[in-house]
Structure 1
Amino acid sequence: MNSPAGASRQSWFGRNRMTLLTIVIVAAYALFIEWFWGWSAIIAQWAAVGVMPILVALALLTSTYFLRTWRILDYFPRETAGRFGTLFRVTQVHNLLNIMLPLRTGETSFPVLMRAEFGIPLTRATSALLVMRLLDLHALLAAAGIGFAAAAPDAVLAWLLWTAFLLLPITAFLVRKPLLRFGLRIFPAKAQGFLTEIDNGLPADATAFGRAWAMTAVNWLVKVVVLVWALSLMGVSPLTASFGGALGGELSSVLPVHAPGGVGTYPAGITAGAVALGAPGGKAALAALAQASVNAHLLIIVSALTGTAISLPFGRRRQL
């Protein structure tokens, strides 16, 4: 039988495990940066950008977390009515776990937290999260399509295809019932339950779905524009390369391959996206781009920590 002291230590560790994990990962990343670049070089680049642009970028990135909370509030209006503060805390804990834990394992915290705080069944919260992630991925791919459409030789056809892709979620929602019936006929029994849960995770009507789709688009528009601006301030050029870098980093964060804290994968996504859309490929240029990608990644981490700190006064979640 555990002693009271041992039980107390376990209880303390259970309450603070996320904080401890965050400290360990951030400390390891800080040591890696010092070893590879040196913090003096990183700070010098921030100093060149200036304090005010950094604060504005942080404020804008943090504002997207409130928009994400509003999207979830609109998804579950009855269960979350009058509890925006609690929901904001839940979304921030989920967001931080998603950033810090590898291979998207942090996603599992969302249905658990929604059940603990609002009594929403695990299957419904999970299916709603899946739909929101599909909308997130669509928004990022649509943003990436802007660059390809702008560079396409047949501009009219390219923009028509882009518009069709942009409206794909709305079209899919309008024809969801026939699509669901078709899927239930052709897929095996296990997949049928999955399809049914996706349908359960959709908003109740077209108006609610339109709001979720619009909020998703605005959220990613703000985030991508801020990252493009930050990368361009840190010397990433041309502007299309900054755009590609912002998209590459964010795509790396929504795909299954994701390192703890995005360490390595997020900067690599920025670098790959920037090079794909016109960044110089020389050794010195790539070194400068890598440093800028690390700074952009740090901006994302600091904004997540800022959002979490803001959410702390909104009450502790109950024990699961």
Structure 2
Amino acid sequence: MPDETSEKSGLKPPLAFGCPNYMKTPMVASRQNWFIRNRMMLLTLAVVVAYAAFIEWFWGWSSILAQWSKVGALPILTALALLTGTYFLRTWRIYDYFPKETTGRFTSLFRVTQVHNLLNIMMPFRTGETSFPVLMRSEFGIPLARGTSALFVMRLLDLHALLTAAGVGLALASPYRALSWIAWAIFLLLPVVGFASRRPLIRLAARTLPKKAQGLVHELERGLPVDISAFARAWLATVVNWLVKVVVLAWALGLMNVTPLSASFGGALGGELSSVLPVHAPGGVGTYPAGITAGAMAFGASSAKAAIENLAQASINAHLLIVVSALTGTAIGLLVGRKRA
């Protein structure tokens, strides 16, 4: 029978233990919260494990890694060192971008950029990008809007540099050489035009947006390079960074018998383009090798069965090289950050 005290007080008696609506125990709730917090990491891990199992089933890891044994240790270590070196150049670009906040703290900034880079590689659909403004705010006190604006500008410069490099190959292959090079030169100068017109665009946004958004517009403006000199340095650092990375990847693909040279160059471009576009699988699994394969085929790789199989294995190894370089950069960042602390 119902408790008379409960009826008089208006309180409902506790539900039976076997009732489906019974309150979850703290342990169950804690486990559910842990899964919710780490669901993206778990998804990434599941995709990577499935990808590794697929490679073992389709080719066998011994066959994949046999390409590296043919290349030799010295070229692999050289490529790894050069790719890791590009992370220092990326850090300098941000260091120069925020001189007031980051001066004297290069090692801390390097750690932040490496954590962001690793998250960006491992998280799907570019969700890792959100870590950059959050990390910059927590480490250097840079407002989220300003950090997001700066990241947006740098990603536009990255995409422009890669598309410009791809345009060189397209212009060389085009039957209309003069027209192609004119179009390429116009595209090359688009960032300059965009930076020169930033103030009219910002004033237009300030007039059209509601007053509550004025602070956001101000922070977005602060996220842009302060002057043409700062813009030129950011642009130059972007070009050098991607030039080194694409050349190293093209060289690595060439060592793994991806021919002709234009195909290895196209493969490097295709892989890196897949890494800056919104459609990006966890860890680049599948999408990065597919980008390499598509780029190599577009730039003249053979369509013979043996050549395609070699290209597929080489694209997986090039992807592994990128992942290992990112892990190496992160390890260095955490190490120097710990010594600094």
Band the TM-score falls in, shorter-chain normalisation: 0.7 to 0.9
Separation (CA, whole Å) in 1 of partners of 2:151 and 2:140: 15
2:126–2:280: 8 Å Cα contact kept in structure 1?
Answer: yes
* SS of aligned partner of 1:31: helix
Q: Does residue 32 of structure 1 match 2:54?
A: yes
Amino acid paired to 2:75: P
Residue among 42, 58, 70 paired with 2:92: 70
Mean CA deviation greater in 213-222 or 182-191: 182-191
Report the CA distance shift for 1:190/1:129 in structure 2 as closer, same or farther (over 3 A). farther
Tell me, yes or no, if the aligned pair for 1:25 and 1:100 is still in contact at 8 Å: no
Q: Percent identity?
A: 71
CA contact (8 A) 1:92 1:308 kept: yes
Following superposition, the deviation at residue 29 of structure 1 comes to: 3.8
Structure 1's 24 and 312: CA in aligned 2 closer, same or farther, altered over 3 A? Answer: farther
Indicate how the Cα distance of structure 1 residues 285 and 145 shifts in structure 2: closer, same or farther if over 3 A, else same: same
Amino acid at match of 1:69: T
Amino acid at match of 1:236: V
Amino acid at match of 1:76: F
CA distance in 1, matches of 2:213, 2:154: 19
Q: 1:112 to 1:285 in 2, by over 3 A?
A: same
Q: Work out whether residues 102 and 261 of structure 1, in 8 Å CA contact, stay in contact via their aligned partners in 2.
A: yes
Counterpart for residue 51 of structure 1: 73
5 Å-filtered alignment, 1:56-205, equals 56-182=78-204, 198-205=220-227
- The residue type paired with residue 336 of structure 2 is F
Q: Over aligned residues, Cα RMSD in angstroms?
A: 2.9
Q: Which amino acid aligns with 2:315?
A: S
Q: In the aligned structure 2, how far is the partner of 1:75 from the partner of 1:175?
A: 19
Shift in CA distance, 53/17, structure 1 to aligned 2, threshold 3 Å: farther
- Between the aligned partners of 1:71 and 1:17, the Cα distance in structure 2 is 32
Distance of aligned partners of 1:188 and 1:167 in 2 relative to their CA distance in 1, 3 Å threshold: farther
Change (3 A) 1:201 1:52: same
| Distance 1:194-1:156 versus aligned 2 partners, 3 A rule | farther
Do the aligned partners of residues 211 and 196 (structure 1) sit closer, same or farther apart at CA in structure 2, a change above 3 Å counting?
same
- Contact 2:40 2:123 (C-alpha < 8 Å) held by counterparts: no
Residues 220 and 192 of structure 1, relative CA distance in 2, 3 Å threshold: farther
Cross-structure match for 1:283: 305
Larger gyration radius, structure 1 or structure 2? 2
Task: Say whether the 8 Å CA contact 1:49–1:233 is kept in structure 2.
Answer: yes
Query: What TM-score does the superposition give when structure 1 sets the normalisation length?
Result: 0.88
Is the CA contact 1:131–1:198 (under 8 Å) kept in the aligned structure 2? no
User: Could you say what secondary structure the match of 1:315 adopts?
Assistant: helix
1:192 deviation in Å? 8.8
Q: Cα offset for 1:190?
A: 10
Q: 1:257 aligns with which of 263, 279, 294?
A: 279
- After TM superposition, the score normalised by the length of structure 2 is 0.82
Task: Indicate if the aligned counterparts of 2:145 and 2:216 stay in contact, CA closer than 8 A.
Answer: no
Aligned residues: 310
The CA deviation at 1:290 is: 0.6
Q: Which one of the candidate residues 37, 42, 45 is aligned to 2:64?
A: 42
2:236 corresponds in structure 1 to: 214
- What secondary structure does 1:237 align onto? coil
* Secondary structure in 1 matching 2:266: helix
TM-superposed CA distance for 1:154, in Å, is 2.7
How many Å separate the matches in 1 of 2:81 and 2:315? Answer: 19
Gaps of 5+ in 2: 1-24
**Which residue type is aligned with residue 141 of structure 2?**
G
